[in-house]
Amino acid sequence: MKPIPDPSAPAHALLDRDHSILAFNERVLSLSTRVDIPLLERLRYLCIVSSNLDEFFEVRAASHLVAAQREQTRGEFTRQSFERLAGSAHALVARQYATYNELVMPALDAAGIRVLPHGERDTVQRRWVASYFRKEVAPLLIPVCLDPSHPFPMVANKSLHFIVQLGGADAFGRSNEIAIVKVPRALPRVIPLPARVSGDKQGFVSLSSVIRAHLGDLFPGRPVGQFSQFRVTRHSDLAVDQDDVLNLRTALRQGLQHRHFGLAVRLEVSAGCSEPLSALLLRHFGLPELALYRVPGPVNLVRLTQLVDLAEAPHLCFPSYKATFPAQLSGGGSVFEQLRRADVMVHQPYESFSGVMSLLREAVRDPQVLVIKQTIYRTGSDPELLALLQEAVRAGKEVMVVVELKARFDEETNINWAEALESIGAQVVYGVVGLKTHAKMMLITRREGRMLRRYGHLSTGNYNPRTARLYTDVSQLTADPILTLDMEKVFAHLASHSRLPRLQRMWLAPFHLHRRLLGKIRQVASVSRSGAKVRIIAKMNALTDEALIRALVQAGQAGVTVDLIVRGACLLPAGVPGWTDNIRVRSVVGRLLEHSRLFYLRIDNHEELYLSSADWMSRNMIRRVELAWPVTAPASRTRLLDECLLTYLRDDADAWEMGQHGRYHHLGESHRKLVFSAQSELMRRHRDASGT
């Protein structure tokens, strides 16, 4: 028997969550440097890093900043933690702009796509830009000169502005020397030049360079001195005390009005911004020097995704991939009839979300369907799902929708959904006070002869047709009476808040999920000490829950081989001698965003595989309504083990493996060429299987 680890032995430190998030963005940034990735996609990855950093500062940075301003030296958030985090963020941003200026933009220029700065435009191009500024831009700009009657204007989160130093005096003889120019969000950030003026390349100009070149036109009679773009990021996590409000929807809608003006946490300015101007901005927003980011390029790279969409160069983008219709569903046949024979697994986006929509469409238009129940977390802007639910209500069906109003940055969309459905008679509930409803499920009740039969959909991802083309997720369509009865009980619990009945197969957070996961890990560890052949493989977006981490560590020490596929933040330090020798952590970052959550364990010849809506984070285990459920059909379990886990463990093109001290290394760097990409392999398999 293997020795049981001594629980009194000193515990090793876990990794830092915020630094782990930044490390993930370093992995995304690396994609913009890879020569095997098409150029416009490399630019897109640069923009994705900016978008991720925006959210990081909006959600995670405020606690560190407040601790620094209060000179805190104890606890999780301190002045030192802010300084370390700012140092890592500054280094990441420096690498990002170096990649933009030294690699990506020169390569695009060589490929015939150029963003022309003012200094490199010829006479014809400058004349066209001047005309565009007069007709399209200047009428929307309102320059404000600061004086006692014109204080510094309100600056919304992530909005682009210019700060301008003026000489001379205004029309009243006053020497107010600072002006602020807000750039409206409605204006495009990238403007294509007409072919007649762009020369032999596809020419573009950035909106900021257009305004910069014509700042003098906004202040006639006054010389323009120093100036800079600037952009402020604000803390944007809505905080609503649900115990203190009578109407959560109304409170959130009111909160949305103030989100754009929360605590300032980051200030971005042009690299050439003068010290007096940057100091003025820092004072105004109450920020320390380390919160200032001087960038040698556009201060909002996120909006440069417009260039990817505008450029006419399909050869510089990924080859198009059309998701296949789910192999287990025969197109045109009744989905209900097929589910009565066997469950259907859909591996998105290799297989299309249209299989799920086919089930809902059939349910809406089938007169024998009586009830449709569904959870809504992130739906995106696609109107079809909402239209189908509205059609079901108008057809006389009972429709219950559990809408999560607090889905971060989707609050307004979800409020609009709730109001649209309520207005025509759907039953809309908002889950459980104090918890986010993150479970993804749909339940359909249909009359068949003298009985009622349930059909269900469970998923690791959201009901969002757009992200279903970009995110890897697993959907399960089922008529299993045990599983669908569990779903019925969960919906009843969410609507009535009554005591949760006993579930036969599902694990539900915050009640069972955490405890059951810990129990399974400990079970595997226990039998491993007896000499059984054991293994754990888990795939998720983030691993930050300390209890689950400790359980995995103890399982590894008991001899269990543990493979973790964690896309983003992971606090478990793998490969530490004498502590986590048996644990490997890898992150796969490629064309698609890895989003599926699976947990597999093997004890000798016995295998179990679970799908889940939950990442292994404390918030998911205790502050959210989450689901996990077993895949019981051997063929489905074998398929998911292969496609979602083993294939990803073979990846050495898009995979990064964690080494000591939490540092990741790209597996492709150890080969002369990239050998195997799980995502490319699965695209090929499904394309070949469908004959397309």
Contacts of 50 (CB under 8 A, 6+ apart): 96, 300, 301, 302
Contact 466, 382 (CB under 8 A): yes
What's the rounded Cα separation, in Å, for the pair 637 and 565?
18
Of 303, 307, 359, give the one whose Cα is nearest residue 333. 359
CB atoms within 10 A of CB 135: 9
| Three-class secondary structure assignment of 305-331 | HHHHHHCCCHHHCCCCCCCECCCCCCC
Sign of CA dihedral 605, 610, 616, 619: negative
Cβ-in-10-Å burial (0-12, 13-18, 19+) of 678 comes to: buried
Sign of CA dihedral 314, 110, 127, 304: positive
Measure CA 640 to chain center.
Answer: 23
The strands making up 160-166's β-sheet, listed across from edge to edge, are 144-145, 178-182, 160-166, 224-234, 264-270, 292-295
Marked catalytic residue, from 64, 214, 235, 438: 438
Asked if 438 is an active-site residue, the reply is: yes
What's the rounded Cα separation, in Å, for the pair 284 and 69?
15
What's the rounded Cα separation, in Å, for the pair 157 and 302?
14
First-to-last C-alpha distance (Å) of the chain? 53
Give 522-581 as a DSSP string.
HHHHHHHTTT--EEEEEEES-B--HHHHHHHHHHHHTT-EEEEEESS-B---TT-TTTST
Checking DSSP bridges between strand 583-588 and strand 561-566, what pairing results, if any? Answer: parallel
CB atoms within 10 A of CB 641: 18
Q: How many residues does the chain have?
A: 692
Token pair, residue 113, equals 């796509």
Contact 16, 78 (CB under 8 A): no
Of 263, 242, 212, 295, give the one whose Cα is nearest residue 57. 263
Cβ-in-10-Å burial (0-12, 13-18, 19+) of 434 comes to: exposed
3-state helix, strand, coil in the chain (%, to 5): 40, 20, 35
| Three-class secondary structure assignment of 587-615 | EECCCCEECCCEEEEEECCEEEEEEECCC
The CA distances from residue 79 to 59, 61, 86, in Å, are 18, 12, 11
Contact 24, 569 (CB under 8 A): yes
Active site residues: 438
